[in-house]
Amino acid sequence: MTARGVVATLAGVAGLAAGVNSLARLGRAGGTRHRLGPGDPGVFGETVSVVVPARDEAGRVGGCVAALLGQDADVVEVVVVDDGSGDGTAGEAAAAGARVEVAPVPRPGVAGKAAACAHGARVATGGRWLAFVDADVVLAPEALSRLLWACLAGGAAAASPLARQATRTWWEELLLPDLGLQVAERLDLGAVADPGRPDAFLSGQCLLVRRDAYEAVGGFGAVAGSLVEDVALAGRLKAAGHRLDVRLAPGLAAVRMYGRFGDLWEGLAKNLAEVWGAGTGSLAWQAARAAAGWAPWLALAARPRGRAARVAAAGGLLQLTVRAGGRLVAGADPRLAVAYPVADLVLLAVYADSVRRRRRGTPLTWKGRTYRAGGPPAPARNDPGTVAGDAGARPPGRPGRRGG
């Protein structure tokens, strides 16, 4: 076999191995146990107070509030916490039917969203459960009642639905479904739900938590020094012995996180190193995943022959099938799967930038505020460490590796 054939064979084997690994991880995340939809049972006898932290969300917050007021669960109040908006966020929220509260100016070392959530929980006192919903999220009418059922059926104190990405531009359609696929591969939902394992995760896009459990661990006020306050809160809840439940729920929630490409880069650079880890091993894993995706096609471009060509083609086609299938499940256009090597490389570049910023403590700007990468300095360490290569946080008091 020629050197070109050897390279093509190795590239194809890498593509096949990575594809099988992706299928196994996605199968683990996408099992029936971890899905939730409108057809599941609902709970209607529990009261819920909803808090929406909002900063410059005019054009979005009205739709979010309308969906919350249309829930079939017993939503007793919807409180929008206006976090220093410079647009019409407050007026739009009030017109949609929410009660609007002004967030106090965050103290030095405190992240704005965490502080706004903490303030909202203090003033929204009517419900036995608290729901924190981002202003760019639109929930289906059955969303909260189904989340309540998931919590009560499994004895969980908190739950989150993983939302469908609502996209409007070609770059959103290209990048965000691939990002969702990577999140699903990394996130072990079974480990998150297992009280005997330390993995902890909740999504701040929509987070439902029993009030007594929230208050017992200090709530968002205890993790206000973290830019990934949702994961930090999850770690504190699990360390206190509470169960968590995270479900794939594209039929219950939709989110449009970023309206511009620059916002996507800054938003992901703010969070990825915190959630995925900033260690060399985690970054290398991500780079290897991307390389295994495009290596078979590069090898085929060199025109190998015989068995080497067939192995390379098999590796490339399996990779393409995984990406197209992931898009179909997420409700995205499967035809854009042909451009997955571009999406992988862009997302790898964003992750590498996030790791670089965190290691160097480079400031970053988000919604008009500047933060040190890795989160604002907090008077006490409330944010549990993340495991390199895993999307779960380890609760305080349990050993874990921190990269960088």
Q: Are strands 74-82 and 47-54 parallel, antiparallel or unpaired?
A: parallel
- Alpha carbons 400 and 146: distance in angstroms, whole number: 33
How far separated are the first and last CA of the chain, in Å rounded? 42
- φ/ψ bin of 109: left (φ > 0), alpha (ψ from -120 to 50), beta (otherwise): left
Those residues with Cβ within 8 angstroms of residue 358's Cβ, 6 or more apart along the chain or in another chain: 273, 274, 278, 373, 374, 404
Assigned token pair, 176: 């965000």
Long-range contacts of 27-32 (CB under 8 A, 24+ apart): 28/188, 28/189, 28/190, 29/184, 29/185, 29/187, 29/188, 29/189, 29/248, 30/184, 30/248, 30/329
- The DSSP call for residue 166 is P
> Per this entry, what is the length of the chain?
404
Those residues with Cβ within 8 angstroms of residue 184's Cβ, 6 or more apart along the chain or in another chain: 25, 26, 29, 30, 162, 248, 326
Assigned token pair, 198: 């330390």
DSSP codes joined into one string, 100-135: EEEPPPPPTT--HHHHHHHHHHHH--S-SEEEEE-T
- Alpha carbons 13 and 314: distance in angstroms, whole number: 9
Identify the residue whose tokens are 């900033």: 278
Predicted local confidence at residue 394, as pLDDT: 36
C-alpha dist (Å) from residue 43 to 32, 145, 250: 19, 5, 19
Nearest to 236, CA basis, from 49, 111, 385? 385
- For helices 170-186 and 261-276, give the axis angle rounded to 10 degrees: 10
- Alpha carbons 367 and 85: distance in angstroms, whole number: 9
Residues of the chain with pLDDT under 50: 375-404
pTM of the model: 0.83
Do 376 and 115 contact (CB within 8 A), yes or no? Answer: no
Query: Which secondary structure element, helix H or strand E, spans residue 74, and what is its range?
Result: strand 74-82
Query: Which secondary structure element, helix H or strand E, spans residue 138, and what is its range?
Result: strand 137-139
Assigned token pair, 3: 């050197």
Those residues with Cβ within 8 angstroms of residue 107's Cβ, 6 or more apart along the chain or in another chain: 115
Predicted local confidence at residue 269, as pLDDT: 87
Assigned token pair, 266: 């800054």
Those residues with Cβ within 8 angstroms of residue 349's Cβ, 6 or more apart along the chain or in another chain: none
Predicted local confidence at residue 1, as pLDDT: 66
